[in-house]
Amino acid sequence: MRAVTLLTLAAIAAVSAHADFSYTSTMKVTGGTMAAYAGTAANRTTKYSLKGQKMKLDMGDIAMIMDFDAQTITTVNNTAKTVSVKSFSDAAAGASGMDVKIDAKETGQKKTINGFSAGELVMTMDVDQPGRAGGPAMKMQMEMDSWISSDPPGTGELRAFYTKNASRFPYSAMSGGGANQSMQSAMAEMQKKLAAMNGVAVEMIIRVKTPSGAAGAPGMPQMSESQMAQLAQARAKLEEMAKSGGPAAAMAQQQLARMPGGAPAANSNTPPGVMMEMTVDSTGFSTASVPDSAFDIPADYKKVN
């Protein structure tokens, strides 16, 4: 799931950053056969801030600061109170290899999302990631249904920022993939397509599935529809007990905490064969000046490698 989440963040960043710009994206698990196992672990709110040549992704417990002049990525762990700094090249080279192929097309569909008129862009990414400890490779397909709008404030500056930084944007390091050419090329092609639309993604629906005929991802158990239904029924009964009060409620709460995941087991609108569906909504677009202090590191944080 970490690789999927980071790939998603990299995709969002590719359509969202320019000078003195900020907004918030909220990512939630909304369906798929693996939703109950992922629970709320994949749910994340990220604050994006960019000033000049610095870009920050603040996820609360973890923050990433990219300095395009210094070519460094600073990772801030607000839980452990640690900070690490790596060059773009070192951060990419230190990750495992990942082979990615991408296809993108505009559908011509239009709709209004969060008050913004948006057009649909569907991107399909085929991902081959080496298995852990010599195990089988993990094959998956990511489909990103993006709704792009030029209405939010500041979108006119988008092209200028990426024209300046496109060739050195650390897609591979952000995504958790290695510094292989296919990863860099795929992410670059995706960025070019999105930048050509001259807008930002106000909503994205990301669906992760095993490609037709490929083996399932190791360590990611599949659940049948009947198992998912049984899990949902059991959860509903426990939730009712938890509302009743008394010893039975306390026991029900304990059992709910032990159940796999807290997210909905399935979404009736999710196509069959989808392991995970995540919906990302972006709001709060602003061109107000971002303070320099937004990129400061607390003095008491320990520097680690």
| pLDDT(5) > 60 | no
pLDDT on residue 139: 72
Lowest-pLDDT range of 69-73, 182-186, 228-232, 301-305: 182-186
pLDDT on residue 200: 85
Mean pLDDT of the 73-94 span: 85
Question: What ranges do the domains of the chain cover?
Answer: 2-222+267-303, 225-258
Dist. CA 235–CA 210, nearest whole Å: 27
Model-wide pTM > 0.85: no
In CATH, the architecture of 2-222+267-303 is Clam (2.50)
Tell me which of 298 and 197 has the higher pLDDT.
298
Tell me which of 256 and 124 has the higher pLDDT.
124
Sort strands 302-303 and 82-87 into parallel, antiparallel or unpaired.
parallel
pLDDT-above-90 percentage for the chain? 25
Tell me which of 94 and 190 has the higher pLDDT.
190
Among residues 304, 294, 302, the alpha carbon closest in space to that of 51 is found at 294
| pLDDT(209) > 70 | yes
Residue bearing tokens 């677009």: 285
Most confident of 56-65, 218-227, 234-243, 247-256: 56-65
| pLDDT(214) > 50 | no
Residue bearing tokens 């359509």: 15
Which pair of tokens denotes residue 199? 């807008």
| CA distances (Å), origin 186, targets 123, 176, 240 | 11, 14, 47
pLDDT on residue 36: 64
| CA distances (Å), origin 80, targets 1, 2, 18 | 21, 19, 30
Which pair of tokens denotes residue 203? 């909503």
Tell me which of 113 and 197 has the higher pLDDT.
113
Which pair of tokens denotes residue 51? 């000033």
pLDDT on residue 78: 94
| pLDDT(285) > 70 | yes
Lowest-pLDDT range of 69-73, 187-191, 261-265: 261-265
> What would the pLDDT profile of 131-188 be if each residue is shown by its tens digit?
555 556 667 787 889 999 989 987 766 666 766 777 777 765 555 444 445 555 555 5
Tell me which of 294 and 166 has the higher pLDDT.
294
